[in-house]
Structure 1
Amino acid sequence: MNRQELFGIVQEMKPANLSLYYPDGESDVFWKQALLSETLKEDISEIREEAQRLDSQPISELTDTLFSIFARTGSRLEYERVYFERRRRLNTYVFMTLLEPDNVRLLENLENILWSICEEYTWCLPAHLPADHNTENIDQFIDLFSSETAFTLAEISLLLGERLPLLLRSRIRHEVEKRIFRPFIECGPYEWETARHNWAAVCAGSIGAAALLMLDDPAALTNILLKTERSMSYYLEGFGDDGACLEGLSYWNYGFGYFTYYSDLLRVRSEGRVDWFATDKVRSIAQFQQKIFIGGNFVANFSDSEPRIHIHMGLSHYLADTYPEVECPPPVLRTPYAKDHCSRWAPAFRNLIWRRTGDEKQDQDWGAASYYLPDAGWLVSRYQSGGSSFGFAAKGGHNAEPHNHNDLGQFILSGGGEIYAADLGCGEYTAEYFGAGRYQYDCNGSQGHSVPIIGGQYQLAGRKHSATVLYASAAVEKDELKLELSQAYEVEELQSLIRSMVWYKGQHPRLELMDEYQYNGKSVSWTERFVTWRRPKMLRSGVVLLPGTGVGGVELTYDVQIVEPEITAREYRDHFGRDTVWHTLDFHAIQPGSEGKLVFTFQFI
């Protein structure tokens, strides 16, 4: 769409008012009904609990000491905990003000945190700023959280309207203009504008949404929307036709969430003349969430994703209302209000206003299903037997994916509420985590994945280090994935490495894994590594037990003539900076030859 066409649409847009959010624009009616809603009862109770906690605490300060920690040590958590606590305070007092419109104290608390956020040195995180920034150029930088803050303040200003003092509303408009709108037009282009991952959707989507809510000048709004629409096209290019988010479900929630929030406002204001939801790729991406769960709240957490995910119910219900192919998730997977450690306003608000009431599915789990996602090279399966859920997921792909891990051939195995073959997911974000030392972190390097170690060598990063899918099938009785993995390594003598995985879905499911390799010349040492949260136990010769909680578990059988096992307890720092124990179960080839076949069976008991 060119500028002239978009300008014509902008000139005829419906007004930005409360009808964007509430039927007939009746805010008071919605919040009175929300107080009586059984569907929203838990959400509102959690918001009230958070307000009670905050009532006894002053506004936390973003001090110079906190700001400088990242530059000195590379640690992000200290500053970000306070930054996100301030956003949690903002969200909570907005909701409480909407729920209790006559409470003057709540409104005063809201005004104070709004003013305090307007006073922040920068809305960016220190980790996202260049090292040579200074006071004079600080407002030239736009990151995920500065963009989100602009969207948040613009939306809150519209929602509260004249209940906020004119001076405060003017200050909000001034800060959003100075920190976001003006640099977006005058100081770019920014690297994220052409990114094919979550940054394009979150940054551009937040800026476009803020502009749709705040700008009255059609020319200025057109200028921003033109750039925003271009970034959204780039974001969608990061997906194949299978709709898989290579960054994992956490970043689907994030990136595709902000894509949806922006696209909804644009569709409504343009009265359907600009409608991203009409495209086939967006329809496909919208179905990704239901395809990635492997049982309970466990997901195939490849890349920087957590093993357990809670769902944004508002986003999920909006997409289900938009597309008949999208399944409503089980209510038990609802994200509690305080669960989002980043305290993002946009999903928290839409978890309330977009929630279906009265007709939610009451199932406690997703139904059994298997999916092969060909563009991603992922196989994901969930299966139910004897009242328990079982899951299997495996991946091909390449080692230059967004939030990449060197993990070609990685697999995950779950059952009965436990993960047996694990993916560590995302570690603590630090400067080095996204720097030259990224793959020294066990959660990112192949040493922390269930893939072979060849001649002491791990997989390497880069687009050329890729897997070839030789065969894939998602069927009723069994699922299969067969991969050629030799390109994942730089081992000159290695001619081929074929990993075959067959997931049999019987009464007691089992996974059969076979690695076949060939060398051209002298063979090297070979170790099959399996990663687990469980503490492995040598049960008997040829059998290792991955114990379940209480009883049961998985028996891993192997050929004692070919490999010998080694069990090691290890530790890494998870995404929240917690020291977390995990285990490697290594099987060392006793006499590796010029060719070999290694077979392992994971049998649920």
Structure 2
Amino acid sequence: MRFHWEKELLQSWLKDHSLQDEALYWIGGKLVDWAVLSASPPYADLIGEIREEADRLLERPEPELTQELYERFEKTGNRLAYEDKYFERRRRLTSFTLMSLLEPDKRDYKQALIGTIGAILEEPTWCLPAHMRGQEIDRNIDLFSAETGFALSEIIVLLGARLPDPLREAMLGHIDRRLFVPYLSYGPYGWETAEHNWAAVCAGSIGAAALLVEQSAARKSAMLVKAVETMNHYLDGFGEDGACLEGPGYWNYGFGYFVYFADLLGKATDGKADLFASDKVKAVALFQQRCYLAGDRPANFSDAMPHVSVHIGLSDYLADRFEEVEHPSLQLRSRFTDDHCARFAPALRNVLWFQPKAGREANWQPGSWYLPDAQWFISRSASSAGSFGFAAKGGSNNEPHNHIDVGHFILLAGDDPAVAADLGSGEYTADYFGDGRYTYDCNGAQGHSLPMVSGHQQQVGGTSKAEVIEAVTGDQEDRFALELADCYPSESGLQSFQRSFVLRKDEKPSLTVTDTFAFGEGGGQVSEVIVTRCQPSLAEDGRIVLAGGLHTAELSYGVGRFRAAIVERPFVNHFGQEESYYRIHLIAEHSAERSQQFALDFEFK
């Protein structure tokens, strides 16, 4: 289903409605009373986090965004130096706005907010340096310029006359100059037809801002038509299974902004323009509860983090909208400071959309899911021994935020280091998204649990893809099997490479990974690779012990079949911090055989 409403129709639906009123922000059918929220015990932890951060920031000076910091990206590829200060300003904007609403009698918050808004209006561009790269000031729109305009629009609506008139008028002028005029006059932008988070964030933010502050009905409806069409492209990036190939963090991000815009559009049209009226949107809404393996640990393929907390406002909103969506445990709730970008829209809705009285389970419900469009297999189980998770993927090596990882898998228990791990996202630099992307262990085949075949690793590209042979979920056993020969170059000599997974869901689960290789004349050399965050030790020929925390696992691979080696490798995580992982190499002793089969058995003890 594709959404489309003509400009004239949208204009007729909007003409009797204005979102320039606090009545937009209702809770349970009543106008939000910020003073009641501030004193309400169920909100105490969340509001306490906001207050603590706002008070910390009151003691700090307004961060300075210098030209030298801005130019550092082009000179060195470093993003963090500029972005750290950029996002601290957004953290101030979000913190001081929320506290000005919750505690309006404390003038320090409002005065600090006014200073931060003034600093943001003085920024030459709201775009990040990494997204400018030759673009003209006030003609380019990236994720963060769109988010900034949306945030300022909501602040205008929420604080209204409490902001000085000249400042409010200046905010409106900058939103128009930096977002509305470029969107209507200088596009189309690449993200307008993108099938990933950029489409939802940019178009959703601009469309929401237009609903909130644009006075011209003609301009507003024109922007809404464009935004809705971009949302169609965003949804095209999902299969019918609703899987977000970029992972749950980007699901929070992209789908979050889809929902924020859809909610405002529905309110502005009395429900006539309903972006939720789609089976695919419902499937996407269900992705969150299907992608977690244990607690806050998802199947973190692609540039996903190993730990991802839930946005409680977004989650509760979707659980109200769709009966099958779970209200997640409050233990998984993201803290106010978890978002290093300090985005205003989700922070506001984590307060307004949170439902303290919703029924919640302590953990995600056990289950197994095969997502056929993504070719992801996910299984989580729980017993008196603890919680356990397994995930494996097919797909291709040409996906959003691509890693070379077809046939890769994850195995973990509770909060222990992952037995078979995905490193997730590395530090974003120019090279990370450039020619050097796959030299990073986070992204390249070398950082995933994939065999080397005759000295060759998997290749990047759309033809490097899996064929699913079997995907069966069951109460006691799950099975998943893939043909992976197309992922390796012809020089590997492969005619077939089938990888199968059998997960037995006992009190403590066990996993068998069986790799079956067929080579042409001359055979081939296989080196199995397992990536782990556990401390591995060679116990004896054919067995490696993987020491976790609460649980220990054993990897058995057959006496006399491999020569084993363990290498500890450093990598830099998404936040620029150095970590390490272990790469287990199992080098097959018999290399000339045309047919070879190896079984790797993982068992929790």
> Is TM (by shorter chain) over 0.5?
yes
Residue of structure 2 in register with 1:162 after alignment:
161
Provide the rounded CA distance (Å) in 2 between the counterparts of 1:384 and 1:23.
Answer: 35
Structure 1 segments unaligned to the other structure (5+ residues): none
Secondary structure of the 2:81 match is helix
Residue of structure 2 in register with 1:7 after alignment:
11
Q: How does 1:3-402 map to 2 (within 5 A)?
A: 3-23=7-27, 30-130=33-133, 132-133=134-135, 137-361=136-360, 363-402=361-400
RMSD: 1.3
Residue of structure 1 in register with 2:543 after alignment:
543
Provide the rounded CA distance (Å) in 1 between the counterparts of 2:435 and 2:551.
Answer: 42
Provide the rounded CA distance (Å) in 2 between the counterparts of 1:323 and 1:552.
Answer: 37
1:509 paired with 2:509, answer yes
Structure 2 segments unaligned to the other structure (5+ residues): none
Aligned residues of 1:10 and 1:221 also touching (Cα < 8 A): no
Provide the rounded CA distance (Å) in 1 between the counterparts of 2:94 and 2:189.
Answer: 28
Shift of 1:559: 1.3
Shift of 1:5: 2.5
Provide the rounded CA distance (Å) in 1 between the counterparts of 2:108 and 2:581.
Answer: 48
Provide the rounded CA distance (Å) in 2 between the counterparts of 1:209 and 1:183.
Answer: 16
Secondary structure of the 1:276 match is coil
1:523 paired with 2:523, answer yes
Shift of 1:26: 6.8
Shift of 1:106: 1.8
Provide the rounded CA distance (Å) in 2 between the counterparts of 1:8 and 1:466.
Answer: 48
The 1:14/1:108 distance shift into structure 2, 3 A limit, reads closer
Specify the code of the residue in structure 2 equivalent to 1:351: N
Aligned residues of 1:142 and 1:180 also touching (Cα < 8 A): yes
Provide the rounded CA distance (Å) in 2 between the counterparts of 1:500 and 1:103.
Answer: 62
Provide the rounded CA distance (Å) in 1 between the counterparts of 2:468 and 2:527.
Answer: 22
Specify the code of the residue in structure 2 equivalent to 1:38: P
Shift of 1:96: 1.1
Provide the rounded CA distance (Å) in 1 between the counterparts of 2:362 and 2:78.
Answer: 39
Provide the rounded CA distance (Å) in 1 between the counterparts of 2:522 and 2:23.
Answer: 72
Query: Which region of structure 1 is more displaced relative to structure 2, 99-108 or 332-341?
Result: 99-108
Residue of structure 2 in register with 1:567 after alignment:
566
**1:266-315 deviation digits (Å, cap 9, x = unpaired):** 00111111001111110110000000110111110000000111010000
Provide the rounded CA distance (Å) in 1 between the counterparts of 2:254 and 2:19.
Answer: 26
Specify the code of the residue in structure 2 equivalent to 1:461: V
Aligned residues of 1:19 and 1:25 also touching (Cα < 8 A): no
Secondary structure of the 1:277 match is coil
Match of 1:409 among 407, 410, 415: 407
Shift of 1:36: 2.4
Aligned residues of 1:266 and 1:275 also touching (Cα < 8 A): yes
Provide the rounded CA distance (Å) in 2 between the counterparts of 1:531 and 1:104.
Answer: 53
Residue of structure 1 in register with 2:599 after alignment:
599
Q: How does 1:417-496 map to 2 (within 5 A)?
A: 417-418=415-416, 419-492=418-491, 493-496=493-496
Shift of 1:15: 4.2
Shift of 1:12: 4.0
Provide the rounded CA distance (Å) in 2 between the counterparts of 1:387 and 1:360.
Answer: 25
Provide the rounded CA distance (Å) in 2 between the counterparts of 1:238 and 1:23.
Answer: 32
**1:194-226 deviation digits (Å, cap 9, x = unpaired):** 000000000000000000001121100011011
Secondary structure of the 1:598 match is strand
| Overall identity of the aligned pairs, in % | 45
Provide the rounded CA distance (Å) in 2 between the counterparts of 1:326 and 1:16.
Answer: 31
Secondary structure of the 2:69 match is helix
- Report how many aligned residue pairs link the two structures: 598
Aligned residues of 2:393 and 2:408 also touching (Cα < 8 A): yes
Query: Which region of structure 1 is more displaced relative to structure 2, 36-45 or 475-484?
Result: 36-45
Shift of 1:121: 1.0
Specify the code of the residue in structure 2 equivalent to 1:524: G
Provide the rounded CA distance (Å) in 2 between the counterparts of 1:45 and 1:23.
Answer: 20
Aligned residues of 1:244 and 1:288 also touching (Cα < 8 A): yes
Provide the rounded CA distance (Å) in 1 between the counterparts of 2:373 and 2:139.
Answer: 37
Aligned residues of 2:542 and 2:560 also touching (Cα < 8 A): no
Provide the rounded CA distance (Å) in 2 between the counterparts of 1:545 and 1:38.
Answer: 47
Specify the code of the residue in structure 2 equivalent to 1:536: P
Specify the code of the residue in structure 2 equivalent to 1:498: Q
Shift of 1:561: 2.3
Provide the rounded CA distance (Å) in 1 between the counterparts of 2:20 and 2:429.
Answer: 40
Secondary structure of the 2:173 match is helix
Specify the code of the residue in structure 1 equivalent to 2:91: R
Shift of 1:145: 0.2
The 1:125/1:216 distance shift into structure 2, 3 A limit, reads same
Provide the rounded CA distance (Å) in 1 between the counterparts of 2:15 and 2:102.
Answer: 35
**1:466-497 deviation digits (Å, cap 9, x = unpaired):** 00000001111111110000011113421000
Aligned residues of 2:35 and 2:103 also touching (Cα < 8 A): no
Shift of 1:14: 4.8
Secondary structure of the 1:40 match is helix
Provide the rounded CA distance (Å) in 2 between the counterparts of 1:536 and 1:50.
Answer: 40
**1:397-418 deviation digits (Å, cap 9, x = unpaired):** 0111100111000100011322
Provide the rounded CA distance (Å) in 1 between the counterparts of 2:330 and 2:392.
Answer: 27
Provide the rounded CA distance (Å) in 2 between the counterparts of 1:25 and 1:417.
Answer: 40
Specify the code of the residue in structure 2 equivalent to 1:115: G
Provide the rounded CA distance (Å) in 2 between the counterparts of 1:83 and 1:25.
Answer: 37
Aligned residues of 2:27 and 2:353 also touching (Cα < 8 A): no
**1:489-548 deviation digits (Å, cap 9, x = unpaired):** 113421000000011001121000000010112223211100011121111221101112
Aligned residues of 1:467 and 1:487 also touching (Cα < 8 A): yes
Aligned residues of 1:208 and 1:228 also touching (Cα < 8 A): yes
Provide the rounded CA distance (Å) in 1 between the counterparts of 2:560 and 2:95.
Answer: 62
Aligned residues of 1:331 and 1:360 also touching (Cα < 8 A): no
Specify the code of the residue in structure 1 equivalent to 2:6: N
Secondary structure of the 2:517 match is strand
Provide the rounded CA distance (Å) in 2 between the counterparts of 1:465 and 1:487.
Answer: 5
Specify the code of the residue in structure 1 equivalent to 2:528: E
Secondary structure of the 2:53 match is helix
Provide the rounded CA distance (Å) in 2 between the counterparts of 1:519 and 1:546.
Answer: 32
TM-score, structure 1 normalization: 0.97
Provide the rounded CA distance (Å) in 2 between the counterparts of 1:212 and 1:313.
Answer: 24
Aligned residues of 1:16 and 1:269 also touching (Cα < 8 A): no
